[in-house]
């Protein structure tokens, strides 16, 4: 049995999501060799196949996929017994003639993104949009920029910094380009979207055409970044491509907390069938192999000539933190830079002592849920221990009031607290406190460490807001000085701006890095995604600031629309290539507040920060967006690319090499992937020729090879990575002012097969407490006394609910993983508890425990056992034993008592 679910980044806007297996549903792809094209035939065949192994099951259709990119269906499967695993259903149905691939349906759950109506009236909600005159109190006052005039043509910082504003002045606004936006629902009633050209809507989850909702903020924010348009737009927020035509696909229903994989797959297929120029989706999953259905379909559609944009993900910094489907070969993966100007959208709040002897005001950021009581003061409470980056013992709660209904806890965001059994909790949940003010840790990393939008998944949460570190310190100091403190909120909202001098226009700390699992480069380029002001549903006031590659992805898609408007003759590859190679490489920021004088690794930034004006006005096109030298086992002797002069005059080109930061894949322990690490050492590459002249409409070929890898002493064991750029500059008669291009390249200094698959530092023999979801490390020979009752759903029970278990961490995802229990004395493998594949991947970091429900309810006799984990290494051959990494735990003893 597997323990409770692990959080991973799925929707690529902070916060994180949870992925789970949908227990009785599968996605089937047909191979075209049988007569199963009829959906009814497929459901009948599924029933027959399952009945042959003794299962009486009802099979019903969820989605039908009938498109050249994917033919098949997703099915619900309801069997008359609980003694069956999803894996068993999958393996049984693989035998059906005509079934090419089959995967369990997964769901992506966004924690508590169902905001409740705030405690103010609709009249106040309308009024607050016009009460913007007060600068926020409690926010840093240095470098505050004056409120931006709505009458300005385009003064949005993200547009100025990327050339979008210059194109707006040339009336290049995306007109005539059709864009599909796939997300979780859209509030089209907000002022910022009132004039957005929405031509078609489709709810994939129910087959209807109604996508309007205020349940989820994500889709509304995404749509505003690319398509906001309206005379009444405040704060000069407008979309990158405000005149494009948009079609909206909802993939997450309003009355559900999750988006299923087959809904996401169906939205891609539906969008492709309607023939868009551009498809953009800001949902992601953990990095997957190309066989993953979502990744493979996105890649097929992109390879066929549609521009398909996905986020690089928010699991950075560090190698292999990129997400799927962005790691597809033809999908456009977009990473993030921080905004050069941090906007703060805040509401006013006040604090006071019980007798009002001291009062003050401060600013909060409304978050989810936001249902603070109207005209009611909340009593401030905080633990009497300093915040920490680590989990802390549960604090003393004796100072809490008896009545918790009007208590607000002030706590560091994501601070975890451990109970007596080692279980991790938030204080709101542990102490049943319904209101929270969260603040970030004190850091000098960037000005983005100010208050950010937060979300709580605590079922009884009523109100969540955030404040900056200084404001939280002030409130806590006032509480300490006066003994007690109360706060209240009102509807006066405001936006202020602060120059980000530390991380502005540099890679965001969270942005996902490459390489892909096939050692290819990702992301393709960067776009603004850190601290982005855009539209939010009405219940949040219509505006808000979010961060994530969810935000940079629609920005990048908008730039593609601008290029397509100006150059309708460009193919999808042309647009990808010109955006990536006209982007501006950025310097390395170590995520600790330091910017160094060398370029960040290409695995972090791709081509660099997008330059929309240069992409539109370039008169030189390259035949590729990057050069991938792969690992040493698969490295080509040289790679070539073509330079095409699309200008009206001959152009002379000079080519040179610019090195970017190098580093290691593995940390010093040999089992952990590196995080924010880069060194100013570079490879030597040979470029031929280094100068050439190309006539209008003609092309020339350039060859590039690696002469020497960077000088990194542990390259062979820790696997080095290196990167840089081939700089291509037109001179002489070239007419394009934008013809300074940089073509990124990447490489690895050892075979991928060197990488271990299993992390031996963190994979442990464990005990699992089923009552509180706590996992602890165990020493060998631990005795477990159990009771066996085969009539129970969980036939094996243990004293104190404490089960023998194992926590398995993988270094990287494996194409073939198995976990089994072995009789230590005989060496016999008793049964395989779980098996993962590239189609049904095992997700690292889970705890497995024995309770008698696995392997069709096989129960162990008394004896001495240990766990065995076996994982295929990257690029490993499943037919070769030596290509597997095997780990075996210490022994544990099972005793059966009456």
Annotated active-site residue in 159, 202, 218, 859: 218
Cα 330 to Cα 518: distance, rounded to the nearest angstrom: 13
Q: Confirm if 43 and 482 have CB atoms less than 8 A apart.
A: no
Nearest Cα to Cα of residue 552 among 338, 294, 343: 338
209: annotated active-site residue: no
Could you tell me where the beta strands, DSSP code E, fall in 383-507? 392-393, 407-412, 417-418, 424-425, 435-439, 463-466, 486-499
User: Which residues touch 249 (CB under 8 Å, ≥6 apart)?
Assistant: 180, 181, 182, 183, 201, 202, 203, 204, 211, 267, 270, 271
Cα 350 to Cα 346: distance, rounded to the nearest angstrom: 13
Kind plus residue range of the DSSP H or E element containing 336: strand 332-338
User: Strand, coil or helix: what is 665?
Assistant: coil
Cα 545 to Cα 530: distance, rounded to the nearest angstrom: 9
Annotated active-site residue in 74, 157, 183, 411: 183
- The DSSP bridge pattern shows strands 543-546 and 532-535 to be antiparallel
Annotated active-site residue in 340, 550, 662, 837: 550
User: Could you tell me which residues are beta bridge partners of residue 747?
Assistant: 722
721: annotated active-site residue: no
Question: Which residue intervals of 76-194 are DSSP H helices?
Answer: 86-93, 122-127, 157-162, 164-169
Residue 211 phi/psi, 5° resolution? -115, 0
Residue 832 phi/psi, 5° resolution? -95, 120
Other residues' Cβ atoms within 10 Å of the Cβ of residue 114: 16
Q: Confirm if 521 and 744 have CB atoms less than 8 A apart.
A: yes
Q: Confirm if 350 and 361 have CB atoms less than 8 A apart.
A: yes
Residue 837 phi/psi, 5° resolution? -140, 180
Cα 862 to Cα 892: distance, rounded to the nearest angstrom: 11
Q: Confirm if 139 and 450 have CB atoms less than 8 A apart.
A: yes
Cα 852 to Cα 589: distance, rounded to the nearest angstrom: 50
Cα 577 to Cα 587: distance, rounded to the nearest angstrom: 21
Cα 50 to Cα 47: distance, rounded to the nearest angstrom: 5
Other residues' Cβ atoms within 10 Å of the Cβ of residue 799: 10
617: annotated active-site residue: no
Counting beta carbons within 10 angstroms of the beta carbon of residue 592, is it exposed (0 to 12), middle (13 to 18) or buried (19 or more)? exposed
Q: Confirm if 724 and 602 have CB atoms less than 8 A apart.
A: yes
Cis peptide before 369 (omega within 30 of 0): yes
Q: Burial code of 277-299, b = ≥16 C-beta within 10 A, e = fewer?
A: bbbbbbbbbbbbbbbbbbbbbbb
Active centre residues (catalytic): 183, 218, 550
């Amino acid at each position: 049995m597997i323990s409770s679910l692990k959080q991973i980044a799925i929707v690529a806007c902070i916060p994180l999501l949870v992925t789970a297996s949908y227990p009785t549903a599968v996605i089937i792809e047909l191979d075209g060799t049988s007569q199963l094209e009829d959906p009814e035939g497929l459901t009948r065949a599924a029933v027959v196949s399952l009945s042959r192994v003794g299962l009486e099951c009802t099979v019903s259709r969820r989605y039908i996929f009938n498109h050249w990119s994917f033919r098949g269906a997703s099915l619900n499967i309801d069997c008359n017994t609980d003694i069956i695993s999803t894996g068993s259903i999958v393996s049984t149905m693989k035998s059906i003639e005509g079934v090419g691939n089959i995967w369990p349906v997964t769901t992506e759950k966004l924690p508590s993104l169902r905001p409740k109506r705030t405690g103010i009236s609709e009249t106040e909600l309308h009024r607050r949009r016009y009460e913007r005159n007060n600068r926020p109190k409690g926010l840093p006052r240095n470098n505050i920029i004056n409120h931006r005039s709505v009458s300005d043509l385009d003064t949005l910082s993200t547009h100025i910094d990327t050339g979008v504003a210059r194109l707006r002045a040339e009336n290049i606004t995306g007109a005539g380009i059709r864009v599909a936006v796939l997300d979780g629902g859209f509030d089209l009633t907000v002022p910022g979207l009132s004039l957005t050209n929405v031509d078609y809507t489709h709810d994939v989850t129910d087959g209807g055409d109604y996508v309007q909702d205020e349940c989820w903020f994500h889709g509304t924010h995404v749509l505003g970044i690319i398509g906001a348009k309206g005379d009444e737009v405040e704060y000069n927020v407008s979309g990158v491509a405000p005149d494009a035509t948009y079609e909206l696909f909802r993939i997450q229903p309003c009355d559900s907390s999750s988006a299923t994989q087959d809904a996401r797959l169906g939205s891609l297929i539906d969008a492709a069938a309607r023939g868009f120029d551009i498809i953009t989706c800001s949902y992601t999953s953990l990095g997957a192999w190309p066989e993953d259905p979502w990744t493979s379909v996105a890649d097929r559609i992109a390879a066929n000539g549609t521009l398909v944009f996905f986020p690089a993900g928010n699991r950075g910094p560090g190698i292999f933190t990129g997400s799927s489907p962005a790691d597809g070969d033809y999908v456009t993966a977009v990473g993030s830079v921080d905004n050069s100007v941090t906007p703060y959208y805040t509401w006013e709040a006040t604090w006071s002592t019980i007798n009002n002897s001291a009062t003050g005001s401060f600013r909060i950021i409304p978050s989810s849920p936001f249902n603070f009581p109207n005209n009611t003061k909340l009593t401030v409470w905080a633990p009497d221990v300093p915040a920490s980056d680590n989990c802390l013992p549960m604090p003393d709660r004796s100072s809490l009031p008896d009545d918790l209904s009007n208590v607000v806890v002030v706590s560091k965001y994501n601070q975890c607290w451990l109970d007596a059994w080692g279980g991790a909790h938030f204080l709101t949940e542990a102490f049943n406190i319904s209101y929270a003010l969260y603040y970030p840790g004190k850091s000098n990393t960037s000005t983005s460490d100010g208050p950010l939008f937060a979300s709580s998944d605590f079922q009884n949460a009523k109100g969540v807001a955030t404040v900056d570190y200084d404001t939280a310190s002030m409130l806590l100091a006032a509480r300490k000085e006066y003994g007690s403190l109360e706060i209240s909120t009102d509807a006066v909202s405001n936006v202020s701006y602060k120059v980000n001098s530390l991380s502005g226009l540099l890679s965001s700390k969270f942005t996902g890095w490459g390489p892909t699992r096939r050692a290819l480069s990702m992301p393709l380029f960067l776009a603004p995604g850190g601290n982005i002001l855009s539209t939010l549903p009405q219940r949040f006031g219509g505006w808000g600031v979010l961060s994530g590659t969810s935000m940079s992805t629609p920005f990048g898609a908008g730039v593609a629309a601008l290029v397509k408007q100006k150059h309708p003759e460009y193919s999808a590859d042309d647009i990808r290539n010109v955006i990536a190679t006209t982007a501006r490489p950025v310097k390395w920021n170590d995520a600790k507040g330091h910017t160094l004088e060398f370029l960040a690794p290409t695995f972090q930034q791709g081509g660099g920060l997008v330059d929309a004006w240069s992409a539109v006005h370039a008169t030189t096109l390259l035949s590729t967006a990057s050069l991938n030298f792969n690992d040493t086992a698969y490295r080509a002797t040289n790679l070539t690319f073509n330079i095409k002069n699309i200008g009206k005059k001959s152009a002379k080109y000079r080519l040179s090499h610019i090195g970017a930061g190098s580093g290691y894949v593995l940390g010093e322990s040999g089992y952990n992937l590196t995080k924010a690490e880069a060194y100013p050492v570079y490879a030597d590459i040979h470029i031929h020729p280094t100068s050439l002249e190309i006539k209008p409409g003609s092309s020339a070929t350039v060859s590039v090879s690696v002469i020497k890898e960077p000088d990194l002493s542990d390259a062979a064991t820790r696997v080095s990575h290196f990167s840089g750029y081939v700089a291509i500059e037109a001179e002489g008669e070239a007419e394009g002012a934008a013809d300074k291009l940089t073509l990124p390249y990447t490489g690895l200094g050892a075979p991928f097969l060197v990488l271990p698959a299993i992390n031996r530092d963190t994979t442990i023999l464990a005990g699992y407490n089923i009552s509180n979801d706590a996992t602890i490390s165990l020493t060998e020979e631990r005795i477990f006394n159990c009771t066996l009752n085969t009539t129970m759903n969980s036939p094996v029970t243990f004293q104190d609910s404490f089960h023998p278990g194992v926590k398995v961490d993988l270094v990287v995802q494996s194409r073939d993983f198995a976990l089994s229990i072995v009789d230590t004395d005989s060496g016999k493998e008793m049964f395989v508890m779980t098996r993962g594949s590239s189609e049904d991947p095992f997700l690292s970091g889970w705890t497995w425990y024995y309770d008698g429900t696995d392997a069709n309810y096989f129960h162990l006799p008394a004896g001495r056992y240990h766990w065995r984990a076996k994982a295929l290494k990257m690029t490993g051959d499943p037919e070769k034993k030596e290509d597997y990494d095997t780990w075996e735990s210490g022994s544990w003893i099972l005793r059966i008592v009456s």
